[in-house]
Structure 1
Amino acid sequence: MHHVALALYPGFQALNLAVSTVLEFANRSLGEPLYKVHLLSEHGGPVLSSGGFSVGTEPFGKRRFDTVLVVGDNDVLPTPPALVKFLQRAARTSRRIGATCTGAFNLAEAGVLDGRRATTHWYYAEQLRRRFPNVGVEEDRIFIIDGPVWTSAGMSACIDLALALVEKDAGAAVARDVAKLLVVYHRRAGGQSQFSALLDLEPRSDRIRAALDFARQNLQQELSVEQLADAAHLSPRQFARAFRDETGQTPAKAVEHLRVEAARLMMEGGRHAIDVVARDTGFGDRERMRRAFLRAFGQPPQAIRRMARGDELQTA
């Protein structure tokens, strides 16, 4: 049996506990207990969530667990020293260690993410990058597996991480069965982008907003850095630096995101041929668009269209 510990602290975001539900239903699907979930905290007893209710926990202690996951919170609260020590010990003694949402900050504080790739909630990704420069932060990922260290993006992405754990331990069929029982889309690919980051680019300055507005209105064009800089009334060098500072992305990456989102909406509408969608959103050809969809959604354009129609998706 795999003993899985979820490390909690006051103010944790309760949605992260959905991990335990995924593992519970994996046991039901298998007809036998593969997972035993332990909710842990520094002293044990009730721990208050950000929602204002408490859950019962066991103290950290010195037990060994197969898998340890530290959950996140809404505001990137300071990591308690006892939690740092617990995570450092778990990194040495557990088969896997990971974090959901902003729990990545706790892992980073414990040094577990040094030299590794990791993700977190898109809203806090740049803060994680600034505070922990030794961590390879990739904000456009639902989850990342780097050796024994697993991290997931914000909020509901913890379900994707948990389904990936189940798939790793018990196989894809069990993970699919659990997803169906929970009425969720079968595990989004880890490389799939965090959609909120694509839809909600909010730069601080009017100049960068003007460049993004120009890009949205001219997706059929090549949209070079020089064109965008001209729309922002900045030199290309000033523009590239300001754009990255305000959005956390390069101009090229942001333009690809805008193209992909526009193409996704056209594909879901189902009225346009793939070649037409690729042309109208600036990809130029269907193969370039297909590669961009795989990077963003983990699925090719045809799969996105099938999903919109209610068809069962096939793995890309």
Structure 2
Amino acid sequence: MSVGFILARHFTLNAFANFVDVLRLAADEGDRSRPIRCEWRVLSDTMSPVASSSGVAVAPHERLGDPGAFDYIVVVGGLIDQTFDLDPQYRQYLHRAAAAKVHLVGVCTGAFILHRAGLMDGYRCCVSWFHHTDFLEQFDGLQPVSNQIFLVDRDRLTCPGGASAAHLAAFLVERHLGKAPAAKSLHIMMINGAEAGETPQPSPALDVQTSDPFVRKALLLAQQSLDAPLAIGQIARHLGITRRRLERHFATALGSSPRAAVMDMRLSLARHLVETTDKPFAAIAVECGFSDSAHFSRRFRHRFASTPGDFRRSRLVRHDGIASA
């Protein structure tokens, strides 16, 4: 199994390292790092070191050559506001790779880069829930998938980075070398087993104690449109199931209706913003999908037995007391 990497300026070191380490550990017995069953090369047009978003630079192995020498070309992106278009040499190389039927992989914001290079037309792609809105703003008319950890659409594979890069790499190792090398890599990396691509992405505002994939995906979809809440029927259709079936999943997993669970999620996020930010309540109301401040205040008081104003003042009193002590 042979993989070539193209690192964008300010690429995410963690995503790159996770992907490479799965290959490294699968390539040999134990963790001796000999590239026996896997080979990986960092490719460059200039051979200059590439700085990651953390400032750590990686030196390329070799110049751009024959893309057909690799099973996969992986583009690792990074900071969303510094994800530049690739230089023409890299775009040409990727187009040659696509023409040669080499599979293209976008890691982190690598999906953005592949789209800008004109290599994702007609393909779905997986992006981080955190960058869902950014993607829509930059690529009008495209619908990214941001409720799972990686996505395989024919000869295009994408993931949002972080730990998902390890799971995508393990998927490829299992495809080429078998389940045992993939599992070994993840276990040595202290990752508790391979996850399927459809596994929902984790999110700080989504703290739901259930493994039900329909419930988690439904809440992720709701979270991605908090400022313009989706109807429960729309969410069910997006998941490919009936509203009644979705309601049964919620009743079994959480003991509540989808509507109640979504409202609880919106209010939990609102409480977090009230407690940890100085945002005006009107702005928080809009961000969490409430029609106006009065509606937001009524819902907040009913849920937490306190108005947003009283809740924030009590937080300030607690913090002042701790500081004085």
TM-score by length of structure 2 reads 0.61
Q: Is the 8 A contact 2:26 2:182 kept in 1?
A: yes
How many residues are matched?
Answer: 223
Corresponding residue number in structure 2 for 1:51:
54
Q: Is the 8 A contact 1:101 1:154 kept in 2?
A: yes
Pair 109,255 (structure 1): closer, same or farther in 2 beyond 3 Å? closer
**Does residue 1:67 correspond to 2:66, yes or no?**
no
Q: Secondary structure at the match of 2:161?
A: coil
Match of 2:158 among 151, 154, 174: 151
Separation (CA, whole Å) in 1 of partners of 2:35 and 2:59? 25
Separation (CA, whole Å) in 2 of partners of 1:35 and 1:253? 46
Separation (CA, whole Å) in 2 of partners of 1:133 and 1:197? 27
Corresponding residue number in structure 1 for 2:25:
25
Pair 151,197 (structure 1): closer, same or farther in 2 beyond 3 Å? farther
Separation (CA, whole Å) in 2 of partners of 1:153 and 1:167? 20
Letter in 1 for 2:55: G
Q: Secondary structure at the match of 1:180?
A: helix
Matches within 5 A, 1:183-202: 183-196=190-203, 199=206
Q: Is the 8 A contact 1:12 1:50 kept in 2?
A: yes
Separation (CA, whole Å) in 1 of partners of 2:151 and 2:58? 28
Match of 1:78 among 72, 81, 84: 84
Separation (CA, whole Å) in 1 of partners of 2:110 and 2:119? 12
Letter in 2 for 1:154: G
Q: Is the 8 A contact 1:244 1:251 kept in 2?
A: no
Pair 278,199 (structure 1): closer, same or farther in 2 beyond 3 Å? closer
Pair 253,63 (structure 1): closer, same or farther in 2 beyond 3 Å? same
Q: Deviations over 1:13-51 (max 9, x none)?
A: 111222111001111249971211001233113111111
Pair 174,73 (structure 1): closer, same or farther in 2 beyond 3 Å? same
**Does residue 1:6 correspond to 2:9, yes or no?**
no
Residue 131 of structure 1 deviates from its aligned partner by 2.6
Pair 26,279 (structure 1): closer, same or farther in 2 beyond 3 Å? closer
Corresponding residue number in structure 2 for 1:250:
230
Corresponding residue number in structure 2 for 1:37:
40
Separation (CA, whole Å) in 2 of partners of 1:21 and 1:101? 16
Q: Deviations over 1:139-173 (max 9, x none)?
A: 11100000011001232211111011111111222
Separation (CA, whole Å) in 1 of partners of 2:27 and 2:114? 28
Q: Is the 8 A contact 2:9 2:77 kept in 1?
A: no
**Does residue 1:97 correspond to 2:77, yes or no?**
no
Q: Deviations over 1:253-304 (max 9, x none)?
A: 9989xxxxxxxxxxxxxxxxx9986462337xxxxxxxxxxxxxxxxxxxxx
Q: Is the 8 A contact 2:250 2:257 kept in 1?
A: no
Letter in 1 for 2:8: Y
Q: Deviations over 1:155-204 (max 9, x none)?
A: 2211111011111111222212222122102121111111117628xxxx
Q: Is the 8 A contact 1:9 1:42 kept in 2?
A: no
- Superposition CA RMSD, Å: 3.1
Corresponding residue number in structure 2 for 1:129:
136
Q: Is the 8 A contact 1:121 1:155 kept in 2?
A: no
Q: Is the 8 A contact 1:114 1:135 kept in 2?
A: no
Separation (CA, whole Å) in 1 of partners of 2:120 and 2:104? 10
Q: Which structure has the larger Rg?
A: 2
Structure 1, gaps ≥5 residues long? 201-242, 257-273, 284-316
Separation (CA, whole Å) in 1 of partners of 2:161 and 2:75? 13
Identity among equivalent pairs (%): 26
Residue 60 of structure 1 deviates from its aligned partner by 2.2
Q: Is the 8 A contact 2:19 2:165 kept in 1?
A: yes
Pair 184,279 (structure 1): closer, same or farther in 2 beyond 3 Å? closer
Corresponding residue number in structure 2 for 1:120:
127
Pair 253,146 (structure 1): closer, same or farther in 2 beyond 3 Å? farther
Residue 122 of structure 1 deviates from its aligned partner by 1.6
Corresponding residue number in structure 2 for 1:282:
257
TM-score by length of structure 1 reads 0.62
Pair 4,275 (structure 1): closer, same or farther in 2 beyond 3 Å? closer
Separation (CA, whole Å) in 2 of partners of 1:3 and 1:117? 24
